[in-house]
Structure 1
Amino acid sequence: MESNSGEAARPKVAVVVFLLNGNRVLLGRRRSSVGRNTFALPGGHLEFGESFEECAAREVKEETGLDIHKIEYLTATNNVYSRPDAHVVAILMRAFQAEPHQTPQNLEPEKCEGWDWYDWENLPRPLFGPLETMAQTGFNPFPPAHHHN
């Protein structure tokens, strides 16, 4: 499939963040065409020259207003969708709130219906496809010792 510029389509890189709070994770219900009405993690496309950590912090700030720290790489997933131009390599990061008393805000209401904290053992449905796959395979985004900050 070719993109409008005549170049061959290439995979996009997204940085996606497991923002953890106790045993909970921050999720928002998507309004975009891909995965509409599913619950997904905050994140977005990696910009040229950005580190994964920089992208994670920027995207979470842009979408939720939250400041994050302790940003760590967890894993990557390769997501090929059935529609054209939809091949996304997702870089999954873990992070914590830098300021625990901050409340997430919905700063991009055209993309998301709102952010809330959900218990990892009791996630809302439907989950965004790639996240559902991870949850089903028993992926755990929490640090091994599961220390609460």
Structure 2
Amino acid sequence: MVPRVRISAILRDNANRVIMGNRKGGIIEPGKWQFPNTYLLHGEDFFECAERAFLESTALEVCATKVFSWTNDILEGGYCHDVTFFVLCERKDETQLPELQDVCQCEGWEWKSWGDVMEMGEKDLFLPVYNLLCSHPNVEGMF
């Protein structure tokens, strides 16, 4: 199996909270919290992919601004191998709220404080997010 490139998009609001969704059953790591994410398409750049991930997942129009980290993620006992790039985004319209777009993939979207995210552990976080926090325990200060 060839590793795939996953783009995980992070958006903060004015209260320094981030949007996270709970993965739905039937997909890899159900019940775990994630940032909007998707796989990079052929010919697509990281920013385009992050913006597409947000639009397809939350209906939010965002502007990707910075790739700030990456993780090497071997999921489901080696069944799935992803290299995840984390991209910071900004909302184009601060009044726009996230809406659940893909009911098959996610239970819903919530704003979480970094404190909430840091309190979650491996059993609660999607592996790329957990690996990000392990490699950068001060991730909030990175942007």
- Bin of the TM-score, shorter chain as denominator length: 0.7 to 0.9
Query: How many Å separate the matches in 2 of 1:91 and 1:142?
Result: 18
Instruction: Say whether 1:15 aligns with 2:7.
Output: yes
Query: How many Å separate the matches in 1 of 2:2 and 2:134?
Result: 28
Query: How many Å separate the matches in 2 of 1:33 and 1:58?
Result: 20
- Residue 140 of structure 1: aligned partner: 139
Larger Rg: 1
Aligned length: 135
1:135 alignment partner, SS class: helix
- Indicate how the Cα distance of structure 1 residues 121 and 11 shifts in structure 2: closer, same or farther if over 3 A, else same: same
Tell whether the 8 Å contact from 2:5 to 2:85 is kept in structure 1 after alignment: yes
1:29-68 correspondence to structure 2 within 5 Å: 29-31=22-24, 32-68=26-62
Tell whether the 8 Å contact from 2:66 to 2:89 is kept in structure 1 after alignment: yes
1:1-149 correspondence to structure 2 within 5 Å: 9-22=1-14, 23-31=16-24, 32-81=26-75, 82-84=77-79, 86-123=80-117, 125=120, 126-137=124-135, 138-141=137-140, 144=143
Deviations 1:108-131 (A, max 9, x none): 011000001100112274111221
Gaps of 5+ in 1: 1-8, 145-149
Q: Which has the higher helix share?
A: 2
Deviations 1:39-79 (A, max 9, x none): 10001000000000000001110110001125211111111
- Indicate how the Cα distance of structure 1 residues 55 and 141 shifts in structure 2: closer, same or farther if over 3 A, else same: farther
Q: TM-score, normalised to structure 2's length?
A: 0.86
Q: CA RMSD in A?
A: 1.7
